[in-house]
Amino acid sequence: MNLRIFSLISAFLLVIGFTSVVWAGGGDDSVDLNRKTPEILVKKGKALFVHYCAHCHGLAGDGDGFNAEYLEKEPAELSDQKSQAKKTNHQIYKVINKGGAGVRKSHLMPVFGKTLSEAEIWALVAYIRDLGGDQSHPVFLPQGVNSDRPVFESVSKEDLQTFNKWFEDEGEKKSSIQAGEKLFKKKKSCFACHQLEEEEEKIGGRIGPDLSQAGARYGPEWLYAWIMNPHAYKRETKMPNMAVASEEAQVLTAFLSGLGSINQETDWQPFLQATGNPATGKSLFFDPEGKVYCSKCHRVAGDGGMIGPDLSFVGTSRSRLFLLESILDPKAVITAGYSTVLILTKERKFITGVLKFEDDSGVSIVDKEGNDLFVSKTQIKKYKTQKISMMPGNFKDLLEVQEVADILAYLQSLKLAEFSGVSEK
């Protein structure tokens, strides 16, 4: 059969298959044991759960994800059939869609209705029912359900101008900062995923970066834009769209901008004082024969390797000092999604690499050479996340002060056009 026709037909069958399991309401909680939740829905739900939920609720929904111990309120034990059976499918849908704060539960449960499609949230409901082995509440996609994710306009140039004006007038006022602090800690879920330092102690969740030095690491314009719409800048981020109004994003930015400073090594001054040449920096960055060959691991505008993060607009998203720290002392802050793991296999082999994905079947990593590896849980004897970076830590010794300044100037030149850079550091 002609390949094109074949794929058309299979796409068609898939649609029929999907709609035929779908017709009855997901909210239809009437018990009919002859009808079972479609397998495909559970599978889809599981993949989403691993990406967005398992860090708090645990892979098997037991409430024991790695982040759970940092939360003031225990994440619900979704695998507990007894407590879950009291809920309708619609009630479970609603918590995920609106977040805890939207249904008079803890604000630490984030809102997902601005991140996932309706169909995806139903898939999560199906997976949660499956976790507890509950067959008395089969889940089906309701008719006419939307399977497109919510789309938000990126923050425009005009929005950013309005923000900059606001920030100049109001950003340092106590009232703005306090309003932002309250949202961060008590109303929105920020604290469930981000740490802050209070009385020399770190508190808060660890899914996203520590924000105790946010003011020194990010410029206000970037903070505002990211908080409004993280997915416009990083589609696969685990940070949900927090459904904040622009007034809320403004005060959150005021709060975060006031936080902390980076502990500078005393010998960093020369690097910061030297004037760099971005063109020379660029050649160093991409030179396979050079001392550093940054592009072995990093991409800029689609060019380069996959081991480290994409740096295409790092000049907008990180302050100059943060960038310098990233080059001289990479382990100081490990970029979200790039932790290093060390695996000891049952054959007593050590494997190390950047963790990409983990579920109950195994872990996927990228090694130093850029190879994708999958190690199944049955092969693993021991496994832990390490506080080291896969990025070499000896650039300070390898490079001249001028070379570092050149690379820094190159990174700072990598900007998003719509940002004015007015409030940048």
171-190 residues near ligand HEC, rule: CB under 6 A: 184, 188-190
Restricted to residues 284-303, the positions that interact with ligand HEC (CB under 6 A) are 292-294, 296-298
- 297-325 burial, b for 16+ CB within 10 Å, e for fewer? bbbbeeebeebbbebbbbbbbbbbbbbbb
Q: Is 100 in the site for ligand HEC (CB under 6 A)?
A: yes
Residues 359, 339: Cα–Cα separation, whole Å: 16
CB of residue 54 to ligand HEC, shortest distance in Å = 8
In a 10 Å sphere around its CB, with 0-12 CB exposed, 13-18 middle and 19+ buried, how is residue 333 labelled? middle
- Contacting residue, 28, 60, 66, 106, with ligand HEC by CB under 6 A: 106
**Contact code string over 339-378 relative to ligand HEC, x by CB under 6 A:** ---------------x-------------x----------
Amino acid letter, 6: F
The rounded distance, in Å, linking the Cα atoms of 382 and 59 is 18
Binding-site member from 37, 52, 177, 375 for ligand HEC (CB under 6 A): 52
Site for ligand HEC contains 389 (CB under 6 A): yes
Residue 109 within binding range of ligand HEC, rule CB under 6 A: yes
Candidate segments 20-28, 36-44, 103-111, 168-176, binder of ligand HEC by CB under 6 A: 103-111
Interface region with ligand HEC, contact rule CB under 6 A, candidates 5-13, 23-31, 67-75, 146-154: 67-75
* Residue 104 neighbours by CB distance under 10 Å: 6
Please name the residues in contact with 389: beta carbons below 8 A apart, sequence gap of 6 or more: 330, 331, 334, 338, 340
Report the relative pairing of strands 340-345 and 303-304 from DSSP bridges. Answer: unpaired
Map the footprint of ligand HEC across residues 153-172, applying CB under 6 A: none
* Residue with the CB atom nearest ligand HEC in the bound state: 208
Residue 38 or 403: the one with the smaller Cβ distance to ligand HEC is 403
Smallest separation (angstroms) from ligand HEC to the CB of 362: 21
How far apart are alpha carbons 138 and 28 in whole angstroms?
Answer: 9
Q: Does 57 bind ligand HEC (CB under 6 A)?
A: yes
Strand duo 303-304 + 350-359: pairing? unpaired
Residue 46: burial class (beta carbons within 10 Å; 0-12, 13-18, 19+): buried
Around 93, how many Cα atoms within 13 Å sit in the side-chain half-sphere?
A: 22
Query: Rule CB under 6 A: is residue 334 a binding residue for ligand HEC?
Result: yes
Nearer to ligand HEC, 139 or 323 (CB): 323
Measured in residues, the chain has a length of: 425
Asked if residue 107 lies in contact with residue 101, where contact means CB atoms within 8 angstroms, the answer is yes
Contacts with ligand HEC: how many residues (CB under 6 A)?
78
Query: What distance in Å separates the CA atoms of residue 292 and residue 308, rounded to the nearest whole number?
Result: 14
Rule CB under 6 A: say whether 407 interacts with ligand HEC.
Answer: yes
d(Cα 201, Cα 154) in Å, to the nearest integer? 36
Q: In the bound complex, what is the minimum distance in angstroms from residue 402's beta carbon to ligand HEC?
A: 14
Of these, 26, 38, 110, 219, which contacts ligand HEC (CB under 6 A)?
Answer: 110
Residues with Cβ within 8 Å of 143's Cβ and at least 6 positions away in sequence, in order, are 22, 23, 25
252 touches ligand HEC (CB under 6 A): yes
Of the ranges 4-12, 34-42, 235-243, 272-280, which one interacts with ligand HEC (CB under 6 A)?
A: 235-243
Q: Please answer whether residues 26 and 118 qualify as being in contact, where contact means their C-beta atoms are separated by less than 8 angstroms.
A: no
Q: Which stretch binds ligand HEC (CB under 6 A): 5-13, 151-159, 239-247, 271-279?
A: 239-247
Residue 314 contacts ligand HEC per CB under 6 A? yes
- Does 142 help bind ligand HEC (rule: CB under 6 A)? no
CB-based contacts of 178: which residues, under 8 Å, 6+ apart? 255
Q: Examine residue 42 and tell whether it contacts ligand HEC (CB under 6 A).
A: no
